[in-house]
Amino acid sequence: MPALASGSSATSGSPPPNAAPARFARVALIGRHGDPGVIEPLDRIAGFLRARGHAVALDAETARFADARNVPVLSDAQLQGATDLAIVLGGDGTMLSVARALAPHGVPLIGVNLGRLGFLTDIPMAELEPTISAMLDGRYVEERRTLITATVHRRDGTQAEAPALNEVVVNRGGLGTMIECVVEIDGRFVYAMRADGVIVATPTGSTAYALSTGGPIIAPAVPAFALVPVAPHALTHRPIAVPDSATIAISVSRGHDAAVHCDGQAHFDLAEGERVTMRRAPHTARFLHPEQHDYFAMLRQKLHWSETPERLNPGGKGR
């Protein structure tokens, strides 16, 4: 497996190698773990950053498969305190994991899209150098994204906790039967429902699983959470939006294999009589976007709004 290059020549208009950059002096590169296809982009961006005078490091998990000779490696603990910026190469799943880890430490994130939709990783490889160069020079837009802290309350009095940037989902397990759950907001009963589950989504997560189940899209600046039923038994159960200052509690009254999922990456079993409470996390995730970033333009592009069938399927035959 090729090693990451230890340097490269400066590009036109860039400061000479080893010149002190004006901002973001220490940059951590984090690649999609276990994906050999990320090695070439990592090598490319590492050389580009060095040519600008930035100190470049890799996180330990990325270094395990990237063969990062001559590139400093930071442990998770070091990453939180020894970097001014993290550039994430991968898809939205990679960004979700990194954002949850670094949000409590205020580290800003830039996403390079090596996945599919790329709602969070919005810089394409074809535009990598000029886009990131402008951002490192200060031409960017910063967004703060809300996270949820989910706490599972066990019948034996123990608790388990995990953060979520997209959503917390309480749903049925592998047995395939509906669960019965009770939803409360700020200690007040809202409804009891039989369904496959309930999604509690942040604005970030409103374009993820919640969207596919009929939930609303919530712009990032709107301080709200969406509660979206998944295949409810009664058609009168509809998605609702609540203030993100609310405490949401979901209890399982019936269901032998229910579970809680945080961003699809942290999982907890949930037995009958147990519940999960969700609150706005005390910290936010910091995302940096190119200066021309427009949330609604991004939605039009990713969701193909206003596209005709002919434009969506060029060369295909119309019906």
Please list the pLDDT of the chain residue by residue as tens digits (319 residues).
Answer: 445 644 433 333 444 445 556 689 999 999 988 777 888 889 899 999 999 999 999 998 888 877 666 788 998 888 888 899 999 999 999 999 999 999 999 999 999 998 777 899 989 988 999 999 999 999 999 999 999 999 999 999 999 999 999 999 999 987 778 999 999 999 999 999 999 999 999 999 999 999 999 999 999 999 999 999 999 998 889 999 999 999 999 999 998 889 999 999 999 999 999 999 999 999 999 999 999 999 999 999 889 898 766 666 766 554 4
Instruction: Give the active site residue among 59, 92, 122, 196.
Output: 92
Q: Which two tokens stand for residue 163?
A: 């953060």
92 is a catalytic site residue: yes
Say if residues 54 and 25 touch (Cβ distance below 8 Å): yes
Burial class (CB in 10 A: 0-12, 13-18, 19+), 137: middle
| 195 closest CA partner among 281, 249, 153, 253 | 253
* All domains of the chain in start order, with CATH: 26-138 (3.40.50.10330), 147-282 (2.60.200.30)
DSSP state of 304: T
Dihedral angle of Cα 84, 89, 93, 94, to the nearest 10 degrees: -50
Buried-state track 101-118, b at ≥16 Cβ within 10 A, e below 16: bbbeeebbbbbbbbbebb
Rounded to the nearest angstrom, the gap between the alpha carbon of residue 118 and the centroid of all alpha carbons in its chain is 10
DSSP state of 301: H
Could you list the beta-strand ranges (E) of 9-158: 26-31, 55-59, 73-74, 85-90, 109-113, 123-124, 140-153
Q: Which two tokens stand for residue 310?
A: 């002919």
Q: What are phi and psi of 234, to 5 degrees?
A: -110, 130
**Residue pointed to by tokens 């590139």:** 71
| 153 closest CA partner among 177, 184, 174, 178 | 184
Q: Which two tokens stand for residue 5?
A: 């290059």
Instruction: Report the C-alpha gap between 148 and 319 in whole angstroms.
Output: 45
